[in-house]
Every structure is written in C-alpha cells, then in structure tokens.
Structure 1
Amino acid sequence: MKTIFFSFLFFGSLISAQNSLSFQAQLPSINLWTKIPDGPGPGGENIVSAKGSVTHVSIPKLIIHQPENPNGIAVLVISGGGYAHIESGSEGYPASEWLKSLGITAFELQYRLPEEGWATRSVPFQDAQRALRIIRKAAGKYKIDPNKIGVLGFSAGGHLAGYISSTFNTAYYKPQDDIDLISAQPNFTAMIYPVVSMLPPNNTTHSFKSLLGKDSDEKDQAKLSVEKQVNAQTPVTFLAQSEDDPISPVENSILMYQALKDHKIPAELHLFQSGGHGWGMGKKGTNTGEWTDLFLKWLKVNGIYNSDQ
C-alpha cells in the first residue's frame, strides 16, 4: 500500500512542479464535437495553468492515456473544480496515469464550464454524454470491451460522473452523427469526495453556484441532485470521502449510498476519518490514499477487473 500511495504523491508533485500542458501535449486527444453545441463559449484555446488547472474550455476533448497492453477496461476520468475550472493536475492526470499502469485505458475529460459564455448551463452533461459514446464507438480501435466502460469523478467531477450515470438517456443535445446513436450508459461508476446534492443544507458548494446560480427553486435543485436521479439502470457505484470534508459535506456520499441501496444498486462506500477535500490520489498523513486499492478490489468483486490482469 505504501508503494502505491507514495507513487501517487510523486505523480501529484511532478505535475504541480511543471506545466501540465507539456504532459498533455504529448498525449493523443479526441475533440468531442464536429460542431460544438450551444456556443459561442469563450473562444480561443483551452488554458492550462502551471499546476494543471484548466479553464477557458472552448474545445472540449478527451486526452487518451493508453497502456501498452490494454486489458479491455476503459474509464472516463473527470476532474473537479466546482464547475469553474478543471483540476487536471491534482486529479485527472495522476488518476489516468495510475489506471494506465494497470492496463486500463483512461480518457481524461476536458469539459466545458457553465459560466464561460455558453447558451446553457448543461454543457458539462453534453460533453460527458458525448464522451462516453465516443469511447464506446472507438472500442475496437483501443481494444476496449464495450461492456467494461466506466466513469470516475472527483468532487464536481464526481457530481458529473454520478449524474450522467443515471441520466444517460436524457437528450442533452441534438444528435450530430452516428456516434449519437450509441449508448452513453456507463457500466460502473466511481465518485471520489463527490458533490451530490443541490438541496439544502448541501447547497453551499461552488458547483451549486456554477450550475444553478442565485435564483433556483427547490424543483431545479432536486433536478440536479444526483441522489434524486438514481434509478434501476444506475450502474454499480463506488464512493469514497473524508468525514471532515469542509467543501462537500460527507452527507453527500451518504445520501448517494442510501439512494443506491433504496434502488437495490450494488454499491460500496468508504469513509475516511480525516483528509479534508481535494486529496486526489491521497493525502499524506491520512488513509485517503487507500481508496485506489479499495477501488481496484471493488472492480475485481464486480467482475470488471480480473485477478490475473
């Protein structure tokens, strides 16, 4: 466990010390759209800070972390950032590299942000839905089993991962091509210190502000609360959070777990005594780094990751 944990701390410090744009520029990518819906958006190029925080997302894309020997599993990786920026440097990039080291093909999502000049605040949902369809369409090219495509999200990215996992059949955009005939349903979901509920008393997050603004009513808040969207088709779900999370209260994960149980969806919830929020692959001095090993064991229990892989 220590080897795994400290290797992730290395990934995190490495990406923070250098411009993550240089890392991502070396990786292949796929633009999500031929014609981006609900523009105009911010225009220009995506901006990546020295610490790997992405803003000004005018071109939503998938950054591909492809293993030398893929084992057939694919994961759409979604960083958090309150739907105001994308914390690729501390979340999406190291998580994708870890998955890659296991033979899992990771697709890191750079998604549009609601407050960057788009015609609708639902643009992140459009991008996540389109991304899952693109991955399934490209299954043969990347040696992926189309029945082993999952989604992993952190914080606001956990909200996006959980939300699209239950609302994958919702028409968030007008179909553009044959890709949009393909299922956007994930086969498994992981939510790490996620934002879940937009209802009081959990409506204090930046995600709430970005998605709903100041004048939302209870109906709008419930519509964007992940726990209210869980249904019989929601995939098996893994949850991990710290009990002392000051940004997204731990009640978010508890609400989600209870909703999954109410709908008889197989789920696993891990609560760490300490760690706060935004620990990515793990925070030194806490047990939060153990979530990766727990997640891998969970994949095995659910027949997604074979023991001999």
Structure 2
Amino acid sequence: MNRRHFLMGLAATMATARLSFASTGLIAPINIPLWKGPPPGGGGPEGRVIQSHSGALRNITVPGLSILLPSSPIGHGVLIAAGGGYKQIQDGKEALPAARWLIARGYTAYILHYRLPGEGWHDGNQVALQDAQRALRIIRQREKQVSVLGFSAGGHLLGMAATRPDYRAYTPQDAIDELPASADRTALIYPIITLEKPYTHTSTHRILVGPHATASEEAAWSVQHYVSSQTPPCFIVQAKDDPRSDPHNSLIMYDACQKHGVPVEMHRYPTGGHGFGMGKTGTETVEWPGEYKKWLQQSNAGG
C-alpha cells in the first residue's frame, strides 16, 4: 500500500465508520487511524470497508480506532476487539453493544478495527497483533487506566497483546511506540485461547498458522504460554455448549492464571452457544455484564 492508496482508504474507512454508527443510536465516534502512514509491512486491500447486513466488517484498508466518549468520563478506557475468526470483525453483534454498555457507565470505549491477515498484508499473521499493540499505546496517552475486552478471535488477539506487552511485533514508528503496550485488566468473552491439538478446528487456527502448522507454530500462537506473574487480572466468560470455541479454552486460560498467581474470575454458563455478545436472551449469559461491571469497579476502586 502506497501513501496515495492509504489516504484514499482512510477517507473511505472514515465515511463507512460514520455510516455504520448512524443506525445505532450512538453519538458519532471519533475515528482515528492507528498509523500515520501505511501500516508496518505494507500491502493490504483497497477500496471501502465492506459491511454485512449484521454489521460485520471486512476489507479493512486502514486499521483504526472508533472512540466513543461517555457524558462523564471516569478516566478508564476499554479497548474492544470483536471476533469473526480473523476473517471479519463483528462490530454489529459484539463491539457496538459493548461500547454502548460501557459509555453508559462512564467508560470510554475504543473499538479496534484491526487488519485481517488474509487480506493481503505483507506482514501476514502479525498484522492484527501489531494493530492491537499500537492501539494500546495510543490509549495509554489518553487514559489513567486501560482495560481490554475481547470476543472470540478478538479475545485471542487481546489475550496475546495483554500477555505479551514486551514483544515487539513491529519496528517503532514514532514516539507513541515508546509507550508500553500493556493493559491493566483483561476480559475475554468466549475466547479462542489455544491453537494446539486437539483444538485446531477454528478459523483462528486456519488463518494464523494454517492446516500444516507444526506443534511449535501452534504453541507460539496459544495465549496460555505467555501468561506470567506480570499478566493483568483476567475475567473470562463462556457457555458450556459453545460449538466454535471449545469450552476447554476458558479452562486452559483459567488454569494458566492460577498457576502464575494471576487474579482470575471465570463465569461458565450451561447454555448460550457462541457469539452471544452482551448476553443471549433466554440463557444465563445475560448475567455476565453484571458480573463484569462489578469486576471493572474493583479496578476503579484501586483493587
């Protein structure tokens, strides 16, 4: 991607973002690109972001943040990454409802529109992690506290980012990259955690490492291996009947946190399936936002 294509893509992306929010009842967000020029490595698609009827996005030409401000900010920003198997980003079902919930409670919501590895970016499976790290650094400039909230593959992405704050996924671009790419709290909702056998059926596995990945490649993209005593407190939610992200994913992350003394809270519900966002009506998953609220308030109180 050259600079001309970057600027054309930026204009198209910002226009699409404004339109996507127009039907939500939310105040139009502040949309900012993550990078001052073409992203690390270059490449990528051209044209406008493509949005499905359900609000899922693909053809991410310019990765960025959509920032939604509450009426009375409390100085706590939450980076949101929706899922979609690294093939699309489920803004409509996950990120936007989460943002609406957060800003109603004083949190500033930062929706991450990250690059999708299969869309021709030269840095391949590193691009989404590059974007997540850059986003965390940008938010560090703006907020007293920074939390992350990831759904499904977005949970995998932010799990990787939160557990690997010292990993340099890209060459520093400017002064922003001198800031830490760290989170104070990590919430993972029906996340993909491990890419190791026997949990290799996911789109996340297929996109990031491929069908012929070695055991070491699968381990390198499995979140649990990067949990340490420095990992921020973790909040995990999953339904036991999840058909896409095997429910063992949450157990694996919970056990890794326990092993390293990381404060962890897990909520497992009998039904709800996958992709229930802020809760699926008629299932116990509607309870998790209330538990999440209490967990977030611990950080606001200094806990």
Q: Provide the TM-score with structure 1 as the length reference.
A: 0.88
Residues 165-197 of structure 1 show CA distances to partners (whole Å, capped at 9, x for unaligned) of 011211101111000000111000000000000
Measure the CA separation in 2 of the matches of 1:306 and 1:50. Answer: 41
Confirm or deny that 1:93 pairs with 2:96.
yes
Q: Deviations over 1:191-220 (max 9, x none)?
A: 000000000111111111111112210000
Q: How far, CA to CA, are the matches of 2:301 and 2:269 in structure 1?
A: 24
Q: Distance in 1 between matches of 2:139 and 2:23?
A: 22
Alpha carbons of structure 1 residues 97 and 241: separation in structure 2 relative to 1, 3 Å? same
1:118 maps to 121
Q: Counterpart of 1:74? A: 77
Deviations 1:56-83 (A, max 9, x none): 0010010011001001111000000000
Structure 1: where are the runs of 5+ without partners?
Answer: 1-18
2:32 equivalent to 1:30: yes
**8 Å contact from structure 2 (residues 28, 68) kept in 1:** no
Alignment of 1:195-214 (within 5 A): 195-214=192-211
Which one of 230, 233, 236 corresponds to residue 233 of structure 2?
236
What is the root-mean-square deviation of aligned Cα atoms in Å? 1.6
Give the Å deviation of 1:21.
Answer: 5.2
Contact 1:20 1:52 survives alignment (8 Å): yes
Residue identity over aligned pairs, in percent, reads: 42
Deviation at 1:44, TM superposition (A): 2.0
Q: Which moved more, 1:37-46 or 1:276-285?
A: 37-46
Kindly provide the amino acid, as one letter, of the partner of residue 34 in structure 1: K
Match of 1:272 among 253, 269, 273: 269
Q: TM-score, normalised by structure 2?
A: 0.90
Q: Is the contact between residue 190 and residue 237 of structure 2 (CA under 8 Å) also seen in structure 1? A: yes
SS at match of 1:115: helix
How has the CA–CA distance of structure 1 residues 97 and 305 changed in structure 2, closer, same or farther, with 3 Å as cutoff? farther
Give the Cα–Cα distance (whole angstroms) in 2 for the partners of residues 115 and 165 of structure 1. 23
Partner SS state of residue 265, structure 2: strand
> Which residue of structure 1 lines up, in the alignment, with residue 133 of structure 2?
129
CA positional deviation for 1:306: 8.0
Question: Are the equivalent residues in 2 in contact too, given 1:125–1:164 (CA < 8 A)?
Answer: yes
* Match among 155, 159, 171 for residue 174 of structure 1: 171
Distance 2:300 2:252 in 1: 25
- Matched position secondary structure for 2:45: coil
Out of 35, 44, 47, which is 1:44 matched to? 47
Give the Cα separation in 2 of the matches to 1:48 and 1:305.
39
2:67 to 44, 64, 68: 64
What letter corresponds to residue 123 of structure 1 in structure 2?
V
Aligned length: 281
CA positional deviation for 1:284: 1.1
CA distance in 2, matches of 1:235, 1:260: 9
SS in 2 for 1:274: coil
Distance 2:62 2:156 in 1: 21
CA–CA distance in 2 between the matches of 1:64 and 1:106? 6
1:231-255 deviations in whole A, cap 9, x for unaligned?
Answer: 1211000000000000001100000
Unaligned runs of 5+ in 2: 1-18
Paired residues of 1:21 and 1:48 also in contact (CA < 8 A): no
Judge conservation of contact 2:60–2:113 (CA < 8 Å) in 1. Answer: yes
Q: Deviations over 1:70-122 (max 9, x none)?
A: 01111000000000000000000110111000000010000000100011211
Q: How does 1:149-298 map to 2 (within 5 A)?
A: 149-298=146-295
Q: CA deviation at 1:32?
A: 0.2
Higher relative contact order (CA 8 A, sep 6+): 1
Q: Provide the residue aligned with 2:86 in structure 1.
A: 83
Contact 2:93 2:277 in 1 (8 A): yes
Pairing partner for 1:303 from 296, 299, 302: 299
CA contact (8 A) 1:20 1:51 kept: no
SS at match of 1:240: strand
Deviations 1:21-65 (A, max 9, x none): 535893211100012112210122222223210000010010011
Tell me the secondary structure at the aligned position of residue 303 of structure 1.
Answer: helix
